[in-house]
A and B are shown apart, each in its own frame.
Chain A
């Protein structure tokens, strides 16, 4: 079956999270994504996540420090629609492939950069590790915890925000190209990535900020996390769900008090009541409790480690758990495709390729014969 993006070719020079995983969403809806990496593979391959983030694409190894490597890249650019890079500032310019010069030669290209800091800012050339972006933009002080003080975020929020924005940036620029006939340079910095996640808490107005409080003591979402029997945990966000036939208290077996009445109680009364509530949760087996909540139409979820999500019936039954046979690891279980287009469904196109697995094929498509390819290989250009 044809896919929505099967006329789009993307040259992916990225490692890390935002580039490879952002591009994956386009690859699995049909784009021909070619990973362009140095001979031996890009440095991000050593991260376990690369096994998933770099799947569904082909791999070509080019040494961009050689004129032959750059020449082949320029040839690829004539066949491509999109170039995505996430190098440290100045790297692409050093190869002679900076966005201004490359777009002059290939004006049809969408050139997407994923720097840590925005180009043109005073910190543009600073080292841009995830944690530094979070620290400098105040994120350690925004988080919920069981204690006061700064909190390190396990989940790399800046990279994740950028990962979600990268396919939007590319597709919006491709949309504009259909109108203008021209590509352009687009940038998604990790700082913009984290700004996208602060949108619900950072809104300054003349009248105040009206935000969901930092939660110490816990707010409504942190306050609906409970320990069950056997050291397991549940997130009992029972205010949502489907037609509800019982209250939280009726399911649990203790006196229910509606959330709207909490503020009418004294802090001591509320605390005493909440202690009973916690004790009620502790008596329940987590999975039995969730079953009982769901039977009563009350929303709730098990709090699990990432690898346990593969057992979730909802994920399994929506194709979210996939077997992918990796060329080095053999059969693996991976997360599926998260976007559902009924007329043009997405699909996993294949495992992460070995570095350079498709070099000969892709160069062959460009018209280079076996002798030329052998010669380039001997020179170390590919």
Chain B
């Protein structure tokens, strides 16, 4: 059965992460996504192969030199057949290349054109390019993960939180604009940014009329939890995540840990009292958890209906990516990449009961589908070879030099 976005065509001029990730998600949802890549390759291919793999699957790929008039013409011929254009070039770059909004609208009047920026299309820093850390720092994530307030250094969160947030914001914005286009026939230009989208992660922070910040949970200096009952604890053989946050959990926790004498201790009798005596309670629980193995605590606490989980290292994701049940549910994808061989990565990020998502094809090599796409546009074999010989287009040959 086709995916929810079956029939939609997207042109992806993006590079790195915030550009390509959104179009990859659109491909997973059933859109036909055409990645238009420089003949020298997306810069990310040579930087971090894993990140490249994390945002390119499912796309067709044509490698074009946009600085050649014929290359630009081919790009615009593809745009003319598309519903959406997406990329993450810095302000003004696409216009200079001849693929800006006006140029695309000239060939496709109702095009939905989304530029993902570092800082946005306006404002004092609009000209600046940037990367994920600029989002994480200015949104407050690094300060809180330190936590700096406890005297630690700020900590960058390794996932690339900001890039992914920006990319998904682009997809939401494009689908909102698509709804408007389908109702009214009107296309439009839209944008998202790493800067604004990373702020979604701290949208819960606000100021009152006096400028005082709203209360927030605080990470402890050890970076182990947000409170004594919502924290990681070391046991004799590993770590346990405790989440005993309901009122009824406290007496049960005390019973299982054999610290019954603390149940009615006024220092710990209520949520507020436990917050006031966080360090004392943490120290007592640290000691109690060292009396047994993580797996034993897990079994006993679960029997008492106290929420907890063993915290395990998944070895660069391998134990998740090879979990049979997640494979069966479609949360893990497997395909064969022409260079890297068997590949496993995240599968469907959304589960649609009637129009399931699809991983349409592996991460493409540079120009993987150049010839097919040119044929579709009506170029004949001789014309295509001529474009290749003049370095206007390329496709993978025997001398393919990229790792991916």
Q: Do A and B come from one complex?
A: yes
Determine the interface band of chain B, counting residues with CB < 8 A from chain A: 35 or more
Bound form: Cα–Cα A182–B136 in Å: 40
**Residues of B contacting A241 with CB < 8 Å?**
128-130
Contacts A172-B5, A212-B48 given; does A341 touch B190 at CB 8 Å: yes
Task: Tell me how many residue pairs across A and B have CB atoms closer than 8 Å.
Answer: 493
Determine the interface band of chain A, counting residues with CB < 8 A from chain B: 35 or more
Q: Which of A152, A188, A221, A304 contacts B140 (CB 8 A)?
A: A304
Question: Contact string, A341-369, partner B, CB cutoff 8 A, digits 1/0?
Answer: 11110000000000000000000000000
**Residues of B contacting A58 with CB < 8 Å?**
none
Question: Contact string, A150-186, partner B, CB cutoff 8 A, digits 1/0?
Answer: 1111110100110111011101111110111010111
Bound form: Cα–Cα A161–B165 in Å: 8
**Residues of B contacting A261 with CB < 8 Å?**
none
A307 touches B213 (CB 8 A): yes
Contacts A192-B350, A196-B349 given; does A332 touch B208 at CB 8 Å: yes
A335 — nearest CB in chain B belongs to which residue? B203
CB distance from A177 to the nearest CB of B (A): 9
B189 touches A332 (CB 8 A): no
B143 touches A304 (CB 8 A): yes
**Residues of B contacting A340 with CB < 8 Å?**
120-121, 173, 190-192, 196
Question: Contact string, B138-181, partner A, CB cutoff 8 A, digits 1/0?
Answer: 11111111011100111111111101110011011101111110
**A378 beta carbon closer than 8 Å to chain B:** no
**B378 beta carbon closer than 8 Å to chain A:** no
Contacts A131-B241, A138-B312, A165-B349 given; does A196 touch B340 at CB 8 Å: no
Other A-B contacts than A119-B351, A309-B139, A340-B191, 10 sampled, CB-CB below 8 A, are A138-B313, A152-B232, A167-B175, A175-B8, A196-B346, A199-B164, A210-B49, A307-B206, A339-B169, A344-B177
Residue positions of A touching B, CB distance < 8 A: 4-5, 7-8, 17, 21, 25-26, 29, 47-49, 51-53, 99, 118-122, 127, 129, 131-132, 134-138, 140-147, 149-155, 157, 160-161, 163-165, 167-169, 171-176, 178-180, 182, 184-189, 191-192, 195-207, 209-212, 214-215, 221-222, 224-225, 227, 233-235, 237, 239-242, 294, 299-310, 312-315, 317-318, 320, 329-335, 338-344
CB-based closest 3 A-B pairs? A49-B204, A202-B317, A138-B314
| 10 pairs, A vs B, C-beta closer than 8 Å | A155-B201, A168-B25, A196-B168, A204-B344, A210-B403, A240-B128, A305-B144, A317-B123, A335-B205, A341-B190
Residue positions of B touching A, CB distance < 8 A: 4-8, 17, 21, 25, 29, 48-51, 53-55, 90, 118-125, 127-134, 136-145, 147-149, 152-161, 163-165, 168-169, 171-173, 175-180, 182-183, 186, 188-193, 195-197, 199-209, 211, 213-217, 219, 223-226, 230-232, 239, 241, 243, 245, 307-314, 316-322, 325-326, 329, 331, 337, 339-355, 403-404
